[in-house]
Amino acid sequence: MNLKNKVAIVTGASQGIGLAFCRALIEKGVAVYGLARNPEKLDTASTALGESFHGLPCDVGDVDKVTKTIQDIVAEAGRIDILVNNAGIGFFASIESMSTQDWGRLMSTNVDGVFFCTRVVVPVMKAQNKQDGFGGHIVNISSVAGLIGNPSLSGYNLTKFGLRGFSDALMKELRYDGIKVSGIYPGSVATEFIQGGAEAGEWKVQPDEIADTLIHILEMPDNNLISDVVIRPLRPPRG
């Protein structure tokens, strides 16, 4: 895809990998609509990224808010070429100590949010395919925790294993509609993502490096599909 003048939606856009995605897309000439829960952080992102970034407060776990927000984007921009389902949260907790409230937050953000955003975007991309011969690209940001289990991360593992299956099924469902679906599986990334997790280290993958991979996937020729990419740090601590 030639990214110049394309329109993208990025969830979890106000910090970490999501913010890096927005910056990399804007550098390629994309108009980015960034969704996140925190208006103040979105304002900070807007100041840093400039007029090509449109920050929209939105809890992706709220189906009515998601539906209206994306419908408003389509009304304003006229199309959606890229959806990056990036919003996610995680908790370190043993299964018996995890509260039902935290469990619900995991499912709402990491699973429901992906479904709610995708179900609104897909009809838009199908219509674009009928008109232009290419519908668009959906990229789901999973995790290495969607490939292997981890002690005290069972809830997060569940959401990311589920996202892996969702991405694979969706890829097969939508490919003949001219819609690409890709999954990215980062390992340890230098962000403050998982509450109670280890501090960032120089050995970790940097957010900008994940963003470079996103751009590579999106810029593949329209007839080429990279369905899965796993990104790990080369030299994690031993033990």
Per-residue pLDDT at 187 exceeds 90: no
Per-residue pLDDT at 197 exceeds 50: no
Please tell me the predicted confidence (pLDDT) of residue 21: 98
Establish whether 33 is a catalytic residue. no
Per-domain residue ranges for the chain?
Answer: 7-231
Between residues 49 and 190, which one has the greater pLDDT?
49
CB contact set of 176 (below 8 Å; sequence gap of 6+): none
pLDDT tens column, 3-31:
999 999 999 999 999 999 999 999 999 99
Please tell me the predicted confidence (pLDDT) of residue 236: 85
Please tell me the predicted confidence (pLDDT) of residue 200: 53
160 vs 146: CA distance, rounded Å: 4
Q: Report residue 193's pLDDT band, with 50, 70 and 90 as the boundaries.
A: low
Catalytic residue among 33, 156, 176, 185: 156
Backbone angles phi and psi of 220, in degrees to 5:
-60, 150
pLDDT tens column, 88-119:
999 899 999 999 999 999 999 999 999 999 99
pLDDT tens column, 31-59:
999 999 999 999 999 999 999 999 999 99
Average pLDDT, the chain: 94
- The third-level CATH classification (topology) of the domain covering 7-231 is Rossmann fold (3.40.50)
Written as six digits, the tokens of 110 are 């990491």
Nearest CA to 163 among 143, 178, 186? 143
